Each structure stands twice: as structure tokens, then as C-alpha cells.
Amino acid sequence: MLATQLLEQQHRDVEALFSRLEKKLGDTDAVADLLTELANALAAHMTIEQELLYPNVENLAHDMIFESYEEHALAEIALKRLLASDPRTEAFKARVTALKELIQHHVKEEETELFPTLEDQLDEKQLTSLGERMRDRFDEILATGHEAVLPQGIGKTSADLSKKLIKSAREKRKRAA
């Protein structure tokens, strides 16, 4: 499967999880299970983009990639705030809505701007190979859960850590040239 197709399918899965979560807001037990499922899916999705997609395509869409890192950082903070909330409070519902809106904005930009750019500039073999690696890493993260990839605390995000890796790799390439 092409990397862009894999990510689009994951976007639809997350949208469905948000819908199910919103319908169950009064049921604390159901909310807890859905919230864990949503956190795992979002953390795994953001991680595969940060670890595999963005570093491999940064040179094709530099500005879009760095904006995506910032959107991931904000979404991760919103997710952490949601995970720390009591599902019986008004704050919980507000945080579900805020996170959903952040994700919807990010998805729209990826699907209308980034993915078409990648599909124009990478061939099918490259996108398929990347998609296979991303799927394997996604499954690995789902098996371990979101706690394995989300740094503790509000001040640290995986997006910030991943962005530093791109910067370091770019500096190494410059020194080697």
C-alpha cells in the first residue's frame, strides 16, 4: 500500500474513533476504552510520520513538514491534557472537541497539500516501500501502546524530538558534502 493511502486510511479510522467517543461521552467505562484506543492510534500515526515520512520527504516539502511537526506538538499536548481529564467533567468534552478540531485541520492540510505533492514527486515503488515500513512501525507501536512513544509531561513532545533528528541529519549531510 502506498504511504499516502495508509495514512489516509488511518485518518478515517481516527475520525471514526472520535465519532464513537463523542457518542459515548456519558458512559465512563466505554469512554476510557475508546480514549485508550484513540490515544494509541494517534500516537502511532504521529510517530510513523515523524520517524519515517517526514525525514524522508523533508526536502520535497520543507515548509509543510515543519508546520506538520508543530501541529503534531499541539495535538500531542491536547491529547495529554485529554488523557489527564476526568471523563465526567465538562473539560473532558471540551478537550475532545479541541483535539478533534486540531486533527481535522492537520488531516485536511496533509490530504490536500502534502500527499498530492508526495504523489507527484515520488514514484509508486518509493511510496509503497515507505508505506510498508510505516505499517510495520505502526503495528509495533499499537502493540506497546501510546505510553511507549509519548514523552512524559506537557513540555516535551515527540514532534520536537523528531524535528531535532531531521536538523541533525541535515547538518551531517552538509558536512559530508
Q: What is the pTM of this model?
A: 0.88
Identify the weakest region by mean pLDDT among 26-30, 108-112, 160-164, 172-176: 160-164
Q: Which residue has the higher pLDDT, 169 or 45?
A: 45
For the stretch 71-116, pLDDT in tens is: 999 999 999 999 999 999 999 999 999 999 999 999 999 999 999 9
| Residue 162 and residue 154 in contact, taking contact as beta carbons nearer than 8 Å | no
Domains in the chain: ranges and CATH? 3-166 (1.20.120.520)
- Grid coordinates of 91: 473539560
